[in-house]
Chain A
């Protein structure tokens, strides 16, 4: 989570500038400033994209060409054949891992977002004793890296015999202190008290008010929380490593890591790790492309206020 925060917003932010800021900038800034900005962006784009390019090229080669041909250009294109081999290996265990990742990340992010949204909304809109204390404890939670919690979580889950189960990874994934923080800030800024008051006067209960009125106004923040959670869970590797033993429960990150650790002795796994890594980033790309529009609105709305 902490590592994601600075890097992920960079992508949509870049998108905004290139489309919206073109015209005014041309008038205000000197060509030199524009060119240098473009150069800096170009360098960073290459810096971020070359590893993915390498991965794509490497995944499309067969094993003998992998070492002997130019690492940044295609040899015989056998990507689909490689994918076929990967999917067939050990009765499609890779697909199972992808499905698990989708369940952990998708389900965890969805439920986690609802919880964080409700929690943040409650902290923003209701006055009750201890409100600031709770909020500060949650804020403290942002500072504690998830990795540091994995081992205590393992020992706790051991007490209730939940290790090596779906829940041992799913339940901790539901918690997002950062999501609560963002929801609270956003709710207090964008959901007017008058509106909630009006809903109450019209006879809506608190839950109904939240789900039908407030949630709509909080959508940009909730999408942001969802994206962050999704990426964080998808990339979370340490918790499953400590919790899970059963291969059929692994998320794709752990499965690929396990394979990669055996490459020395079972060399064929190297091909599968490469192709598997390539395929495993596709869901992240798709979800970013689908949701970045919402997210962009959320970021800009927040900045104006």
Chain B
């Protein structure tokens, strides 16, 4: 009897939950605004903007001061993969998404596939702004569609090589300009007891940046079907190259962003770091004892005389489907990401490296940086930014891709399997993941 009653209670609870969730998801259709039209709204407009960039309130305050009729309220949270993206999806489902949201480039396709982004092409000034941004960043927000803009580029992470100028000089080792020279230098560095660099086994974005630089791309989309290319020739070339360095114990493999990783740089055991513009601060804070000894050079190249660069990170400002004021939202997004005023503030509060061409000329990005011996390091990144390929495309399930690839990479650095094996298995699991979500895949 007792058991029967309890079972009844559980059944009742389950039924209640089903009913509740059922009626909640019924409302999800209420949110789709008219994407094609983008007209100014009447009267005073209040916009909400969710971002995790610290100091955004101050930037919005400047806008609010200048635009009394369009007031932007900043909301915040953890970074995208830390929960904010999931929140966006929940809110889209519940029909109460913010007007604007920060989305990293590698997460945009996911939102696009789930139909969460508003195409801003019809909004005044958006398509005209295309030339204001570094070319490849625009490619990240229009997914290759000519007259489309699903977000406005915000910041970028063009990659270059941070290196210990003092150690290279003291040991008479030339600064490598090609990956071949890099491997040779790696042996010389290893002979002194150090490692030339650290291979990022768990933050797959660095590896993706290398593939990007090599001219590869992991995904392709013809407007309908996705092609997955984790094992493209460029991708495998990069994997083989690093596998060789790992096999010969010429690079360290500390998990990035850990204390031991910081420590390896702080004690001078690691000599270079191939990273993005925003990484300048990571070294300065992680390796404070090495102040003044670092410099920045363009990344080593696959062929002498080239000047290709990869990209690591960067984000955009998107307008969500369901926003009632896409026009005003688009105007704010443009101002936020192109005006010197806003870009200077964002660079100061959050080290954002602008995606706007004019932003690269900000006075703050022209100064010498003390930690780097007074070198004007951002000039190097500006040059790198010019040579980032516009052809690299992210897929709709990047979190899964990163997790699966890094599982394989972690095995590879401890000697089980190779980086290429990891890519092959991630290729298959990515195809499975897309198919599980009924996203069409070309095989």
- Interface residues of A, Cβ cutoff 8 Å to B: 63-64, 67-68, 71, 90, 132-133, 136-137, 139-141, 143-144, 151-152, 154-156, 158-159, 161, 163-164, 241-242, 244-247, 254, 257-258, 260-270
Q: Which chain A residue has the least Cβ–Cβ distance from B261?
A: A67
Q: How far is the CB of A244 from chain B (nearest CB, A)?
A: 8
Q: How far is the CB of A253 from chain B (nearest CB, A)?
A: 11
Q: Which chain A residue has the least Cβ–Cβ distance from B291?
A: A64
Contact check, A139 vs B78: say whether CB atoms are below 8 A apart: no
B 329-360 binary contact with A (CB < 8 Å = 1; else 0)? 00000000000000000000011000000000
Q: How far is the CB of A21 from chain B (nearest CB, A)?
A: 37
B257 interface residue per 8 A CB criterion: yes
19 A-B residue pairings within 8 Å (CB atoms): A63-B285, A64-B288, A90-B54, A133-B9, A143-B10, A151-B90, A152-B21, A152-B24, A155-B25, A158-B94, A242-B83, A245-B50, A245-B87, A245-B98, A246-B76, A262-B52, A264-B257, A264-B282, A267-B284
Q: A137-B12, A139-B9, A155-B94 are in contact. Are A265 and B351 (CB under 8 A)?
A: yes
Contact check, A262 vs B54: say whether CB atoms are below 8 A apart: yes
Contact check, A261 vs B79: say whether CB atoms are below 8 A apart: yes
Could you tell me the distance between the alpha carbons of A46 and B267 in the complex, rounded to whole angstroms? 31
Q: By CB atoms of chain B within 10 A, which of A63, A136, A247, A270 has the most?
A: A136
Could you tell me the distance between the alpha carbons of A156 and B17 in the complex, rounded to whole angstroms? 11
Contact check, A139 vs B6: say whether CB atoms are below 8 A apart: yes
Could you tell me the distance between the alpha carbons of A262 and B81 in the complex, rounded to whole angstroms? 11
Contact check, B76 vs A67: say whether CB atoms are below 8 A apart: no
Residues of chain B within 8 A (CB-CB) of A141 are: 13
Could you tell me the distance between the alpha carbons of A258 and B78 in the complex, rounded to whole angstroms? 4
Contact check, A64 vs B281: say whether CB atoms are below 8 A apart: no
Q: How far is the CB of A236 from chain B (nearest CB, A)?
A: 14
A154's contact among B90, B257, B289, B351, by CB below 8 Å, is which? B90
B221 interface residue per 8 A CB criterion: no
Please name 5 further chain A to chain B contacts, defined as beta carbons within 8 Å, in addition to the given A67-B266, A247-B75, sorted by A numbering: A133-B9, A155-B21, A159-B24, A164-B75, A262-B54
Could you tell me the distance between the alpha carbons of A282 and B82 in the complex, rounded to whole angstroms? 26
Contact check, B27 vs A67: say whether CB atoms are below 8 A apart: no
Q: How far is the CB of B208 from chain A (nearest CB, A)?
A: 16
B 62-102 binary contact with A (CB < 8 Å = 1; else 0)? 00000000000001111100110001001101111010000
Contact check, A154 vs B94: say whether CB atoms are below 8 A apart: yes
Contact check, A261 vs B78: say whether CB atoms are below 8 A apart: yes
Contact check, A67 vs B259: say whether CB atoms are below 8 A apart: yes
Contact check, B351 vs A136: say whether CB atoms are below 8 A apart: no
Residues of chain A within 8 A (CB-CB) of B21 are: 152, 155
Contact check, A68 vs B54: say whether CB atoms are below 8 A apart: no
B443 interface residue per 8 A CB criterion: no
Contact check, B76 vs A247: say whether CB atoms are below 8 A apart: yes
Which residues of B (277-336) have their CB < 8 Å from a CB of A? 278, 281-282, 284-289
Q: Which chain A residue has the least Cβ–Cβ distance from B96?
A: A158
Could you tell me the distance between the alpha carbons of A268 and B285 in the complex, rounded to whole angstroms? 8
Shortest Cβ-Cβ A-B pairs, 5 listed: A267-B285, A155-B24, A245-B75, A158-B94, A261-B82
B154 interface residue per 8 A CB criterion: no
Q: How far is the CB of A180 from chain B (nearest CB, A)?
A: 13
Q: Which chain B residue has the least Cβ–Cβ distance from A148?
A: B17
Contact check, A158 vs B24: say whether CB atoms are below 8 A apart: yes
Q: A245-B50, A261-B52 are in contact. Are A266 and B9 (CB under 8 A)?
A: no
B5 interface residue per 8 A CB criterion: yes
Q: How far is the CB of B378 from chain A (nearest CB, A)?
A: 16
Residues of chain B within 8 A (CB-CB) of A143 are: 10
Q: By CB atoms of chain B within 10 A, which of A90, A155, A262, A263 has the most?
A: A155
Could you tell me the distance between the alpha carbons of A263 and B13 in the complex, rounded to whole angstroms? 41
Q: Which chain B residue has the least Cβ–Cβ distance from A264?
A: B257
Could you tell me the distance between the alpha carbons of A246 and B21 in the complex, rounded to whole angstroms? 25
Q: Which chain A residue has the least Cβ–Cβ distance from B1?
A: A132
Contact check, A267 vs B281: say whether CB atoms are below 8 A apart: yes
Residues of chain B within 8 A (CB-CB) of A155 are: 20-21, 24-25, 90, 93-94
Could you tell me the distance between the alpha carbons of A82 and B9 in the complex, rounded to whole angstroms? 52
B263 interface residue per 8 A CB criterion: yes
Contact check, A258 vs B27: say whether CB atoms are below 8 A apart: no
A68's contact among B52, B90, B266, B281, by CB below 8 Å, is which? B266
B262 interface residue per 8 A CB criterion: yes
Q: By CB atoms of chain A within 10 A, which of B87, B98, B350 has the most?
A: B87
B 97-129 binary contact with A (CB < 8 Å = 1; else 0)? 010000000000000000000000000000000
Contact check, B281 vs A258: say whether CB atoms are below 8 A apart: no
Contact check, A67 vs B77: say whether CB atoms are below 8 A apart: no
B184 interface residue per 8 A CB criterion: no
